[in-house]
C-alpha cells in the first residue's frame, strides 16, 4: 500500500514555484495517442511529422514569424544549446564567445561548456539586461547576443530591440530565450519577438506555459538556412505530437492578486511583469510554508519566488495567503 502511494504522481495543489503545470486535457490525450511515434523519422511517421510542422507554424504565429523554421525539442535547454550551436557553427572564429545577461538560464552554461564557447555574462539593472553592460563585453569573436524574455527568477523582459541592434552591429546572431515567457508575452505590450526586432532564433516552450506534456520545447529561427549550420540531424522526440496549442490562459491576474496580498502585509515585492512574483520573506517563514506543504523556492538572493502557472488558482493563493497570516 505504502509503495502504491509513493508511486502517485505529484499533484499541483501546493506547487507555487514550478514552470511546469497540469497539461491541457487535449494535450494529455494527444500525448497518449502519439506515445510511440517518432517525428525524427518523418518518412515512417508521417502523421506526427505533419503535426510537428503545424506546431512550428503555431509557435511562429505567436512569435511574429509568418514562415517560421524550427522544430519541437526536448525543452528550453536543448533549444538554447542548439541556438548557441547555430551561432558558433556559422561564425568564422576559433575563440567564439556568447554574451548574455547574468539572469540568463543556466542552460547557457551547459551550452558553453558543451560547445567550447566562452559565456560572458553582463550585470543586470533591476534584474533586466543592461545594453551598455552587454555592449562592453562584445568583441570580434562574439557569435551571439542573448536576451531573455521572461526571466526564470524574476519574470522580467530584457530590452530585446537594443540587444538585437548590438548583435547586428557585431555581426553576431541575436537569440531570445522566451522559453517560459513566450506564451504570456502576446498579452502584454513588450517588444520581444521576430516582429519587434532583428531576432534570429528564439526559444519558446510548449511544456511550460503552453500546457503541453513534457517534453516539448520549441526552437524557432527566422530562416531555414540558419539550421543548415547544424552539421547533423536534430534529435526530434516522440513527444512532438504531444503538443496541442490550446487554451493557455494568462496568470497575470492571479499574479497581481498575490503581489497585492504580499505587499499589503509589508513585504517588499518585485514584479509582476509576467506571472512571476518574488517577495522578501524571512527564511523561517519560508521554511514554515514548506513545512505546511507549500512547494516554494527562493531566488539566488533569498527572496520567496512564486510562479503563477495555470494550475495556480485564486483559491490556492487565498489559502497560501491565509498560511502567511497564520505565521
Q: Applying CB under 6 A, which residues contact ligand 0PR?
A: 18-20, 75-77, 80, 105, 107, 148, 152, 177, 179-180, 205, 217
Cβ 44 to ligand 0PR shortest distance, Å: 27
Between 45 and 308, whose beta carbon lies closer to ligand 0PR?
A: 308
CB of 240: closest distance to ligand 0PR in angstroms?
A: 15
Helices (H), 202-281: 225-228, 252-264
DSSP run (H or E) holding 77: helix 76-90
Cis preceding linkage at 215, omega within 30: yes
Give 73 or 164: the residue with its C-beta nearer to ligand 0PR. 73
- Spatial CA neighbour of 84 closest among 226, 196, 262: 226
Minimum CB separation of residue 105 from ligand 0PR in Å reads 4
Choice between 45 and 320, CB closer to ligand 0PR? 320
Cβ closest to ligand 0PR, residue 45 vs residue 205: 205
Closer residue to ligand 0PR (CB): 107 or 250: 107
In whole angstroms, the minimum distance from the beta carbon of 191 to ligand 0PR comes to: 17
Write down the least CB distance from residue 266 to ligand 0PR, Å: 27
Q: How far is CA 199 from CA 8, 39, 162, 173, 271, in A?
A: 43, 27, 11, 8, 26
CB of 234 to ligand 0PR, least distance (A): 15
**With contact defined as beta carbons under 8 Å apart, do 153 and 183 qualify?**
no
State in angstroms the smallest separation of the CB of 216 from ligand 0PR. 9
Three-state secondary structure readout of 3-66: HHHHCCCCCCCCECCCCCCCCCHHHHHHHHHCCCCCCCCCCCCHHHHHHHHHHHHHHHHHCCCC
Of 45 and 202, the one with the shorter C-beta distance to ligand 0PR is 202
- Residue 214 near residue 183, CB atoms below 8 Å: no
Residue closer to ligand 0PR, measured from CB, 85 or 105: 105
Element (H, E) at 148: strand 142-148
- For 317: left if phi > 0, alpha if psi spans -120 to 50, otherwise beta; the answer is alpha
CA-CA distance, 92 to 99, in Å (whole number)? 17
Amino acid at each position: 500500500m505504502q509503495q502504491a502511494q509513493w508511486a502517485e504522481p505529484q499533484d499541483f495543489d501546493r506547487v507555487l514555484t514550478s514552470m511546469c503545470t497540469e497539461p491541457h486535457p487535449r494535450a494529455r490525450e494527444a500525448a497518449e495517442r502519439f506515445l510511440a511515434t517518432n517525428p525524427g523519422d518523418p518518412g515512417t511517421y508521417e502523421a506526427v511529422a505533419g503535426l510537428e510542422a503545424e506546431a512550428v507554424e503555431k509557435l511562429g504565429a505567436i512569435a511574429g514569424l509568418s514562415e517560421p523554421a524550427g522544430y519541437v525539442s526536448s525543452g528550453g535547454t536543448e533549444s538554447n544549446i542548439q541556438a548557441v550551436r547555430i551561432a558558433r557553427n556559422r561564425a568564422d572564429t576559433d575563440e567564439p564567445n556568447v554574451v548574455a545577461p547574468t539572469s540568463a538560464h543556466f542552460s547557457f552554461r551547459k551550452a558553453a561548456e558543451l560547445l567550447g564557447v566562452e559565456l560572458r555574462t553582463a550585470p543586470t539593472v533591476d534584474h533586466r539586461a543592461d545594453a551598455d553592460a552587454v555592449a562592453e563585453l562584445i568583441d570580434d569573436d562574439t557569435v551571439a547576443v542573448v536576451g531573455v524574455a521572461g526571466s526564470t527568477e524574476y519574470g522580467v523582459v530584457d530590452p530585446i530591440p537594443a540587444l538585437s541592434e548590438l548583435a547586428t552591429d557585431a555581426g553576431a546572431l541575436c537569440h531570445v530565450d522566451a522559453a517560459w515567457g513566450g506564451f504570456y508575452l502576446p498579452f502584454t505590450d513588450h517588444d520581444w519577438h521576430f516582429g519587434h526586432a532583428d531576432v534570429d532564433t528564439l526559444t519558446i516552450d510548449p511544456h511550460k506555459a503552453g500546457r503541453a506534456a513534457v517534453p516539448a520545447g520549441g526552437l524557432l529561427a527566422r530562416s531555414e538556412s540558419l539550421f543548415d549550420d547544424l552539421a547533423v540531424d536534430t534529435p526530434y522526440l516522440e513527444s512532438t505530437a504531444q503538443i496541442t496549442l490550446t487554451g493557455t490562459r494568462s496568470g497575470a491576474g492571479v499574479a497581481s492578486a498575490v503581489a497585492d496580498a504580499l505587499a499589503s502585509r509589508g513585504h517588499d515585492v518585485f514584479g509582476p511583469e509576467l506571472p512571476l512574483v518574488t517577495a522578501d520573506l524571512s527564511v523561517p517563514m519560508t521554511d514554515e510554508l514548506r513545512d505546511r506543504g507549500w512547494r516554494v523556492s527562493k531566488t539566488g538572493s533569498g527572496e520567496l519566488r512564486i510562479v503563477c502557472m495555470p494550475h495556480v488558482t485564486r483559491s490556492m493563493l487565498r489559502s497560501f495567503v491565509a498560511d502567511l497570516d497564520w505565521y
